[in-house]
Amino acid sequence: MLEIKGLNQYYGGSHILKGVDLAVEQGTCACLMGRNGMGKTTLLKCLMGLVPIADGSITFQGREISRLRPQQRARMGIGYVPQGREIFPQLTVEENLRVPLAGKRSRGIPERIFELFPVLKEMARRRGGDLSGGQQQQLAIGRALVLQPEILLLDEPNEGIQPNIVRQIGEVIRMLNREEGLTILLVEQKLPFARATGDHFTLLNNGRAVASGAMSQLSDELIQEHMTV
Ligand SMILES: Nc1ncnc2c1ncn2[C@@H]1O[C@H](COP(=O)(O)OP(=O)(O)OP(=O)(O)O)[C@@H](O)[C@H]1O
């Protein structure tokens, strides 16, 4: 469903992503892992069209998307939950959820979002900035689901969040993937969460995809070599 081949990306003169290959099969959850600064966030930004790539290809459902604008990719069915959530603090929860619907007056917020995250209904009129970190993360995921994407890109959804909310968010992500068939590409540093959620892993080290396979093949040696600091 999503395939990256030979992707190179630079920030100025710094070569960040070096010939990355990655494939995410329909209906699976792929985990992108690796130490801080290895290029995971940059890779998601390349997929979303938020930073330009130097060369390589990105195909989504058989179509080359690497020259499309971010909004076009979102309309094609790519949802994105950025690192740090990036919700609008001055807008209400409901207004945040309406952002992806701009220009589509006939469409409303799918009721499913509030079933998945009841707290968003309770807090619909509160400002985004007044929510806790965990609630903001639920809002960011809810907002990414408003256009009913085919694939969801999640950048460290558990960073800086209380354990009970991490559990709730984990349950929702696994349910969306396993019961509703939503394809997921998850950037995740926490091993137990990645193991409980992902079908496949890819390890990034210094901008290169150095290992990948079924999650059951993620060995202690690989973790030692590419994850521990
Ligand atoms: N806007 C930018 N301009 C220049 N360099 C950048 C920029 N954003 C990131 N970098 C550099 O690119 C490299 C990869 O960063 P990236 O954020 O993609 O890594 P990451 O694996 O997601 O790490 P983290 O888990 O810390 O977010 C790092 O060396 C970082 O300093």
User: Tens digit of pLDDT for each residue in 6-18?
Assistant: 999 999 999 999 9
Rounded to an integer, the average pLDDT of 100-120 is 88
For residues 117 and 136, give the distance between their C-alpha atoms in angstroms, rounded to a whole number. 11
Is the pLDDT at 42 greater than 90? The verdict is yes
**Do 64 and 18 form a contact (C-beta atoms < 8 A)?**
no
Rounded to an integer, the average pLDDT of 193-213 is 95
For residues 158 and 138, give the distance between their C-alpha atoms in angstroms, rounded to a whole number. 10
Is the pLDDT at 106 greater than 80? The verdict is no
What size, in residues, is the chain? 229
pLDDT confidence of residue 105: 67
Task: Select from 4, 56, 35 the least CA-distant residue to 224.
Answer: 35
Rounded to an integer, the average pLDDT of 152-181 is 93
Tens digits of per-residue pLDDT, 25-34?
999 999 999 9
Rounded to an integer, the average pLDDT of 24-49 is 96
151 confidence band (pLDDT: 50, 70, 90): very high
Atom of ligand 1 nearest to the CA of 38: 21
115 confidence band (pLDDT: 50, 70, 90): very high
ipTM of the predicted structure?
Answer: 0.95
138 confidence band (pLDDT: 50, 70, 90): very high
Give the distance (Å) from ligand 1 centre to CA of residue 87. 20
Which of the listed residues 10, 11, 47, 204 should we mutate to test ligand 1's pocket, taking the one with most ligand atoms within 8 A of CB? Answer: 11
Give the distance (Å) from ligand 1 centre to CA of residue 37. 5
Ligand 1, atom 18, residue with closest C-alpha? 39
For residues 97 and 103, give the distance between their C-alpha atoms in angstroms, rounded to a whole number. 14
Ligand 1, atom 10, residue with closest C-alpha? 11
Alpha helices in 24-161 (DSSP H): 40-48, 70-76, 93-98, 111-116, 118-122, 133-145
Which of the listed residues 10, 22, 32, 40 should we mutate to test ligand 1's pocket, taking the one with most ligand atoms within 8 A of CB? Answer: 40
Tens digits of per-residue pLDDT, 60-80?
999 999 999 999 999 999 999
pLDDT confidence of residue 160: 87
Q: Is residue 90 in contact with ligand 1, taking CB distance under 6 Å? A: no
Mean pLDDT of the chain: 94
Question: Which has the higher per-residue pLDDT, 184 or 189?
Answer: 184
195 confidence band (pLDDT: 50, 70, 90): very high
Kindly list the structural domains of the chain, giving each domain's residue range(s) and its CATH number in brackets, ordered by start: 2-85+149-226 (3.40.50.300)
pLDDT confidence of residue 69: 96
107 confidence band (pLDDT: 50, 70, 90): confident
Is the pLDDT at 136 greater than 90? The verdict is yes
- Which token pair is 119? 């707290």
